[in-house]
């Protein structure tokens, strides 16, 4: 859809209309599925690791707030 998006953006920009492109595949869409329920008393400053199912890559994160 790259060509269609570029053409549509060009047309809208000429008519003084702002166009924004966003992806629907964001990390939080996938991370929420894999989260375990945790006692609310232990939900801050936790380090976690999520492994990729397709390769050896992984994501490491840390919570800061409850």
The domain locations on the chain are 25-66
Q: How far apart are the C-alpha atoms of 60 and 50, rounded to whole Å?
A: 6
Give backbone dihedrals phi and psi of 3, rounded to 5 degrees, phi first. -65, -40
Region 59-66: mean pLDDT is 81
pLDDT tens across 25-57, in order?
Answer: 777 776 666 556 767 666 777 888 999 999 999
What length does the chain have?
66
pTM of the model: 0.34
Higher-pLDDT residue of 15 and 49 is 49
Work out the pLDDT band at 58, boundaries 50, 70, 90.
very high
């Amino acid at each position: 859809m790259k060509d269609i998006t570029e053409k549509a953006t060009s047309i809208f920009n000429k008519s003084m209309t702002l166009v924004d492109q966003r992806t629907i595949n964001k990390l939080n869409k996938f991370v929420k599925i894999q989260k375990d329920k945790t006692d609310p008393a232990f939900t801050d400053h936790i380090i976690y690791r999520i492994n990729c199912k397709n390769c050896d890559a992984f994501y490491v994160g840390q919570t800061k707030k409850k």
